[in-house]
Amino acid sequence: MTPSLEAYVMLSAALFAVGFLGVLVRKNTLVIYMCLELMLVAATLALVAFSHFNGTLDGDVFVFFILTVAAAEVAVGLAIIVALFRARKTVRVDQLDSLKH
Amino acid sequence: MTPLHTALSVLLAPLASAAFIALFLRRRGTAASVVSVAAAAFAALGGLELAFGLSRFSGSVEWFRFGSFAVELGFKFDDLAALMLSIVGVIGLCVHVFSLGYMRDDPAKARYFGGLSIFMFSMIGIVLADNLFMMFIFWELVGFSSYFLINHWYEKLSASDAAKKAFIVNRVGDFGFVLGIILCYWRNGTVNLTELGASHDLVFSRLIPLLLFCGAVGKSAQLPLQVWLPDAMEGPTPVSALIHAATMVAAGIYMLCRINVLMVPSSMEVIAWVGTLTALYSALCAVTQRDIKKVLAYSTLSQLGYMVAAFGLGSVGASMFHLTTHAFFKALLFLGSGSVILGCHHEQDIFRMGGLRTRMPVTFWTFTVAVAAIVGLPGLAGFFSKDAILVLAYDRNPAVFAVLALTAILTAFYMLRLWKIVFLGEPRGESAGQAHESGVSMTAPLVLLALLSATGGYMWLYHGAFGGVFSQIPEAAGSAHVVILLTSLFVLAVGAGSSLAFYTSDGSDALEQRSPAAFGFLFALRACFDRAYDYYVQKIQQRAAMALNFIDIVALAGIAVRGLAGAVEVVGFGVRALHTGRINNYVYWFLAGVVVLWAFAAGVL
């Protein structure tokens, strides 16, 4: 028995919600970053599912692009976080509030 | 040197002196006085040379230009200007020399002489000016010099108040003057005196001469702006002689004579009556004064009223003739009173003087000549000029004639009162008992002015140099001659006789003792203008100012300025609260943005 399209979409939505909630409430930049990735993966999952059930390759091709961009983004983002930690000795967003002052 | 260069150097010498004193000699009073007297002597000699050398010229240069409107600086040196320049020069020199003695021990001598120099510059500027704009500039400079010199003893509150009063009251008149100049320029297209005189299509309006007359009302202290002049006696006495008797207040009369071409009969009538009423009012005020200088100040007002009335009745000649003789004897009276005041150690109350006849003989005799001249004793200067005015009034307007004749009685009355109380009898005060004659620097100008006061009425004195002005003096013809002569002798006899009989030398005001009601009335008459202005300023103007201030605070400062800033501040405060610096908060805003965007896209909003 194969899961239905609804199940894939529901899973995708649940993953997205988890990721979004994480971005909203977590304080650690690394965790927020992982949550962002989770939201990206949720979108990817939905695309793959639609592609499979529609029998076209559009979604699959799009996913390749997304993965490529995400890999580049991770490299840059992690570098920024490391640099930030070196400069400020913390990666907690509630302590990184110098924009306010 | 061409006459033009001479005139320019006569004008600029006092300015150079003032500048030199202000820059280098502020702490060296004696040097400053020498420089200032030298400049005054140069101006006097140059002026007399120009006047009696019969140099008459005019010319101007452009100063600046806005489009078609050009302001020019220039000289118009005709007989009128020559006469006025001679008066200013001679009286100015006398006062400068007199000041050498009078101000010898003053700590601020340099400032004083610098002020005299700047005054001479301003006054000569008015005399020579060939257009009304230039005249107005020097007119204001004269106002400033007057303020500066009245305020000489500025640590005295009364002096600084008097200076402010003089300045402010003059501003009121000058406002009308400047409006008149603007109106004249607007209607006639020029304010150049020569061009106005030569113009054939002059616009005659009743308003222009009356507005210009406002300037003369302020400067020559006519009703209702006469209040500043008696107070201005707070300045040093030579200043009173120079500015408030002989020259500056005469500038108003001179200006009227300059703009004679603009006059129309209806405005002339107003001018004549203003002058007549001023003459009578001031003569009444003079009767109750106790301060020697204030008697003379009111007498000046009264004589200025004569001149304005003469001008209003249509004779520049009579007006300027009286201005000339008045300059001589009034300067002499003031300088004589300065000599008296200095001799009595700065005592100014006439009832504490007395008996100065033997102690100060030169001052006494010169003062007597001046008194005889002002009351119109036949043969002296005042007799001729006052008679010329009376002839004119008799001819043109009987009502004015009657008032002026009455004023002449009063003039004789208060002048003889002053003369008798100050010089005759026994000394009534300690300072009067110790009085002594002043030095030669003070008596020499007195003697010179006494000679001029005695002879100023005879035309041979002027060598025909001012024919353009003095040819216009009205002469009595036929029966009028007898009437005028009898009138003037009658008023002199009545005024002088009653005064000499009425006042005694016992140190009290006989009028106050015998008729307190009349005395009180005259005293109230003197004060009524000051009261009215006080009431106006305190009750009306002050309240209007308060109301405007309230509107200013509430509407402008409160709502418009502070309100606008307040609104921006409140918005800024709110927006700043949103800006927390935390990424999580921004994500909420991001979410809200997405929701709004979605709502737009879905057509919900």
pLDDT at B500: 82
Does the pLDDT of residue B470 top 70, yes or no?
Answer: yes
pLDDT grade, residue B44 (50/70/90)?
A: very high
Maximum distance among all Cα pairs of chain A, rounded to whole angstroms: 58
- Which residues in B lie closer than 8 A to residue A19 (C-beta atoms)? none
Integer Cα distance of B382 and B375 in angstroms? 7
Note which residues in 48-87 of chain A have CB less than 8 A from chain B. Answer: none
Nearest CA to B231 out of B289, B146, B158, B301 is that of B158
Interface test mutation site (partner A, options B584, B586, B595, max chain A beta carbons within 10 A):
B584
Does the pLDDT of residue B432 top 80, yes or no?
Answer: no
pLDDT grade, residue A100 (50/70/90)?
A: low
pLDDT grade, residue B601 (50/70/90)?
A: very high
Average pLDDT of chain B?
86
- Which residues in B lie closer than 8 A to residue A25 (C-beta atoms)? 584
pLDDT at A65: 92
Question: Within an 8 Å CB–CB cutoff, is residue A89 touching chain B?
Answer: no
Does the pLDDT of residue B348 top 90, yes or no?
Answer: no
- C-alpha distances (whole Å) from A80 to each of A31, A39, B4 are 14, 20, 88
pLDDT at A17: 94
CA of A74 vs chain B CAs: smallest distance (Å) = 19
CA of A14 vs chain B CAs: smallest distance (Å) = 17
Q: Do A93 and B583 touch (CB under 8 A)?
A: yes
Query: Mean pLDDT, to the nearest integer, of B399-417?
Result: 89
Query: Mean pLDDT, to the nearest integer, of B333-355?
Result: 84
Percentage with pLDDT > 90 across chain B? 15
User: Which residues, including other chains, have CB under 8 Å from residue B237's CB and lie 6 or more apart?
Assistant: B102, B293, B334, B335, B337, B338, B341, B342
Query: Mean pLDDT, to the nearest integer, of B463-475?
Result: 78
Does the pLDDT of residue B479 top 80, yes or no?
Answer: no
Nearest CA to B582 out of A70, A84, A25 is that of A25
pLDDT at A10: 94
Of A43-57, B298-312, B528-542, B578-592, minimum mean pLDDT range: B578-592
pLDDT grade, residue B492 (50/70/90)?
A: confident
pLDDT grade, residue B507 (50/70/90)?
A: low
pLDDT at A83: 92
Question: Within an 8 Å CB–CB cutoff, is residue B587 touching chain A?
Answer: yes
pLDDT at B586: 82
Percentage with pLDDT > 70 across chain B? 99
pLDDT grade, residue A12 (50/70/90)?
A: very high
User: Which residues, including other chains, have CB under 8 Å from residue B60's CB and lie 6 or more apart?
Assistant: B72, B73, B74, B75, B130, B131, B192
pLDDT at A48: 92
Question: Within an 8 Å CB–CB cutoff, is residue A100 touching chain B?
Answer: yes
- Which residues in A lie closer than 8 A to residue B584 (C-beta atoms)? 23-25, 27, 93-94
Give the best-scoring range by mean pLDDT among B139-143, B314-318, B394-398, B553-557.
B139-143
Model-level pTM?
A: 0.78
Out of B579, B582, B587, name the one closest to residue A23 (CB). Answer: B587
Q: Which chain A residue is nearest to residue B585, measuring alpha carbons?
A: A24
Integer Cα distance of B568 and B575 in angstroms? 10
In total, chain A counts a number of residues equal to 101
Q: Is the sign of the CA dihedral B127, B469, B388, B405 positive or negative?
A: negative
Out of B582, B588, B591, name the one closest to residue A93 (CB). Answer: B582
CB contacts < 8 A (A, B): 26
Does the pLDDT of residue A43 top 70, yes or no?
Answer: yes
Integer Cα distance of B76 and B194 in angstroms? 8
Nearest CA to B405 out of B521, B479, B492 is that of B492
- Which residues in B lie closer than 8 A to residue A35 (C-beta atoms)? none
Query: Mean pLDDT, to the nearest integer, of B267-293?
Result: 89
Say how far residue B137 (Cα) sits from the centre of its chain: 15
Interface test mutation site (partner B, options A92, A93, A98, max chain B beta carbons within 10 A):
A93
pLDDT at B118: 92
Question: Within an 8 Å CB–CB cutoff, is residue B586 touching chain A?
Answer: no
Query: Mean pLDDT, to the nearest integer, of B335-352?
Result: 84
Query: Mean pLDDT, to the nearest integer, of B536-565?
Result: 86
Query: Mean pLDDT, to the nearest integer, of B182-206?
Result: 80
pLDDT grade, residue A38 (50/70/90)?
A: very high
pLDDT at A101: 64
Query: Mean pLDDT, to the nearest integer, of B404-430?
Result: 85
Does the pLDDT of residue A72 top 90, yes or no?
Answer: yes
Residue located via tokens 């979108």? A43
Does the pLDDT of residue B495 top 80, yes or no?
Answer: yes
pLDDT at B17: 92
Note which residues in 14-43 of chain A have CB less than 8 A from chain B. Answer: 23-25, 27, 32
**pLDDT one-digit tens code per residue, B58-105:** 888 888 888 888 888 888 888 888 889 999 999 999 999 988 888 888
* Crossing angle (nearest 10°) for helices B292-312 and B316-343: 180
**Dihedral through CA B46, CA B52, CA B54, CA B59, nearest 10?**
30
Query: Mean pLDDT, to the nearest integer, of B30-34?
Result: 89
Out of B581, B588, B591, name the one closest to residue A97 (CB). Answer: B581
- Which residues in B lie closer than 8 A to residue A24 (C-beta atoms)? 584, 587-588, 591
Residue located via tokens 């001799």? B343
